[in-house]
């Protein structure tokens, strides 16, 4: 696995190396998410391919919408 490096600016900005931008389809305006996992930071571009890969992953029970509505109902009762 090749290692790429970048330097964080004083404003906290980070440049993603061009090779990785091309490989993962990161262009101007692409949203990225940052997740912490066991002492690591994971940067995930939210691209069409990423969203397509999520299709069907939330099917079945429990329904995310049903859970959200039940939580809101409980909050209103408090």
The set of residues, in sequence order, having a beta carbon less than 8 Å from that of 35 and lying 6+ positions away, is 41, 42, 44
The CA distances from residue 72 to 62, 64, 77, in Å, are 16, 12, 9
Q: Over 90: is that where the pLDDT of 52 sits?
A: no
Locate 77 and state its tokens.
């009762």
Q: Over 90: is that where the pLDDT of 6 sits?
A: yes
- Contact of 70 with 76, CB cutoff 8 Å: no
7-16, 27-36, 53-62: least confidently modelled range: 53-62
**Position 78 confidence tier, pLDDT thresholds 50, 70, 90:** confident
Q: Over 70: is that where the pLDDT of 19 sits?
A: yes
Q: Does residue 9 or residue 47 have the better pLDDT?
A: 9
């Amino acid at each position: 696995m090749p290692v790429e490096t970048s330097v964080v600016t004083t404003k906290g900005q980070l440049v993603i190396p061009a090779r990785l931008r091309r490989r993962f389809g990161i262009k101007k305006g692409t949203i990225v998410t940052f997740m912490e996992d066991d002492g690591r930071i994971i940067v995930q571009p939210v691209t069409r391919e990423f969203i397509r890969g999520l299709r069907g992953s939330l099917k079945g029970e429990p329904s995310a919408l049903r859970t959200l509505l039940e939580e809101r109902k409980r909050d209103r009762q408090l």
